[in-house]
Structure 1
């Protein structure tokens, strides 16, 4: 390619990027694994919480994860296609899923109801493969899982299928509604329902299945929920599910979101900034244009609220976030096109954190890290899991 042809691509790569620290992901995994001193299923669903499915999976395995968890079967099959051989559970399964592909790839699947088990059994008999299944109990979240009324029928059917050699029930699990509020009364109630469900399953003959209940928040704050295995997600990426400082738990945020200034200009006091003129500088000032917007996952609600590190200090976005861009008021501080600005990162260099952005935009950091993308490029640093 000629230099003229290369220039637009270089400009695109330099415009905005999500930087992911693989060593931080591995270190966070090791911290959590040491904390619980039992097997850890690392959740890498949703493209590794926005950090990249395959790099995140390899990094958590390098950090000592024993198994991987994903939501949908396609994620599990992508892991297998990339050569990852660790145990993988895919749990969000509806009717008509490609169970045959799961069994052929040695992917464990979750079952919520007797009809779901029947589908798995039918495929197991047709393919002559034994399905490794986890049974999900609804202990009070009212989301996935069999209710207390349906659970006895499910475990009885699963026990028969295991006796027939069609399935191996390797897991019994549920999910907490209020783990991020460790004193909430629903936690004790859910634990009791879960233990009753486990007792019924054990009585039915399902004696080898591992129990797992703890998500990230429970892994950090509720040791009574650790059972045979824990199932953290967001904490692996260095974010505190309890809303505090991840450093308090020995965790380091792995994602930095940054961009380059596209344009600067001086404007007079009172100038209307961005759509709807919701921001007016009190005095003559310098505005810096940042070429990313809600099409790239920057929340529109961040306008006039969320902090960005620019020209040496944090300052709130000036005016509305647009589809492709937003504006910063940097006063008289020196700034030029091409200068770096940081939306969020670890906070170690004075940049905002994802938690600060979540507070400003009235959301949660889970949403921020999983939605950021669009025209950002993703760049990896560190060597954990890199062949």
Structure 2
């Protein structure tokens, strides 16, 4: 693979026109699945970032005396690792100043190597695999909790609150799904009080789960944990109902979407699914989060799925670092980004030395009457 030097992302336009103030263009890239079964989650990231871009343009943010024109370049990675690396190279070649993405852990990790080689900072609003920030890249950041925290939270909730004694675990064999399921199972064993009675797997495009669910039914589990996305969890819930499985489904943020009721239909039920989103706000911060979701709905005529607020904050964190550094050159604002403290709609954003979010919060949800219902915000002590 070719090596790319860091290229300042400043493009001067109108500079040669007499009497017209030069304007600086700053391009931000997004990468997420904009097609396929995960498109609704991927578009959520694009739309969240686009809201931030539009607001920055409306505010007329300036750096070094030059008014900025913010541009979003949204790319479709198809939730595929190979496509993800091609998209990453495309964004590097486009001289973006920073990247918001990717959604899936399986695309985020290989793409991060390309951004790191080019010196372009990447903030993921969704990827939770610990591996992403364990690679040692100074360009890798995330604004959500990682699988270690999520797995511990869900295992503790399953045992302590749902009072589960027998737990079955299924994953979709993706980097995200398997990684989260492995961490969950590890935490169940560590905590004690419950037993993993079955460990099964499917894939992220599957539609028939009768074989694995029939095997699980024989163990009469109290909880089934699923590591994967809502596009699979919805049909799985329908087949659980058909087979008479009364177990509650516990899952991570890939399942915790506004679209799950549509995907699961009448199999969703009340207090049947418990899931966590890798972020959360309480107290005074709730008003800002609520205001964002209302602006989003008004703009796109859609509810926030899961990741839009985190994509929005990722763009705003880039902008804050550039303003503080007085430069949109990644080489100059990257050190500032690493030490940033920003009050976003998802809470206070600051990064640890690896690029993980400090004091990360998680929000537990269930579904009632076909709507996502917030239960509590958890922060690990």
Whether TM exceeds 0.5 here: the answer is no
Return the TM-score normalized by structure 1: 0.25
Whichever of the two has the greater Rg, that structure is 1
Return the TM-score normalized by structure 2: 0.26
